[in-house]
Amino acid sequence: MQALARPLGMLLKFIYDLINNYGLSIIVFTIVVKLILVPLTLKQMKSMKELQEIQPKIKEIQEKYKNDKEKLNVKTMELYQEHKISPFGGCLPMLIQLPILFGLFAVLRDPGLYVFGSQEVYESINTSFLWLPNLTDADKLILPLIAGLTTFLTSATTPSANKGDQTQKMMMYFFPVMIFWWGRSFPAGLTLYWVVSNSFQVVQQLVLARPKAKTKEGV
């Protein structure tokens, strides 16, 4: 984690030196990181869309061979090969991003160590932002509430291979509540990162979905 946290901390420090506002630096830092991850995100979305398109055929195979697990697996893999789709295509970009996310969390949970070089230097800067007196402390209501809402919007706008799955539906409502609860104890700077990251992703999903909507309307 430290191998990724160090360069990410240097990036945040570079942005802070330019802006000289810790809250705005976190926002710009988040946008920069999300832009770097756009190729992986696009690949993940493409894979999920492809899996979603063949989902009816997968259900047909599951129904036809529900009593023959071996045949079911063979036919399912044949379908993936026919459409040149990897069943793990949507997971791989996510797995690649996980270490980066862990590194980001480490940076924003301990900026004194990873960004400013010492806790004393970090405590000497102005870490207030908007209504927040200190981004080091947790915001108990407003920011966690926005984090939970944007988490729900992210889930609602993200393509899924199986939108009818009950587990996914449950997680779409449960995960935002969990984020809200965690946000009440996380440093506000970390919760701010989560809000900006979610907002960026929602806008990205809406922009990418727009050409599809126009095509349907014949524009």
- Per residue in 132-189, pLDDT (tens digit) is 998 888 899 999 999 999 989 988 877 665 555 667 777 778 888 998 998 999 889 8
Scan for tokens 């993200």, then name that residue. Answer: 158
Q: What angle do CA 181, 187, 191 make, to 5 degrees?
A: 60
Report the alpha-carbon distance of residue 11 to residue 20 in Å, rounded: 14
| Residue 156: predicted pLDDT | 82
Q: Which residues of the chain have pLDDT under 50?
A: 213-219
| Residue 123: predicted pLDDT | 87
| Residue 97: predicted pLDDT | 67
Q: Please, where are the H alpha helices in 88-187? A: 92-109, 111-114, 119-124, 142-157, 166-183
Taking residue 40's Cβ as centre, other Cβ atoms within 10 Å add up to 16
Q: What percent of the chain has pLDDT over 70?
A: 85
193 membership: H or E segment, kind and range: helix 188-217
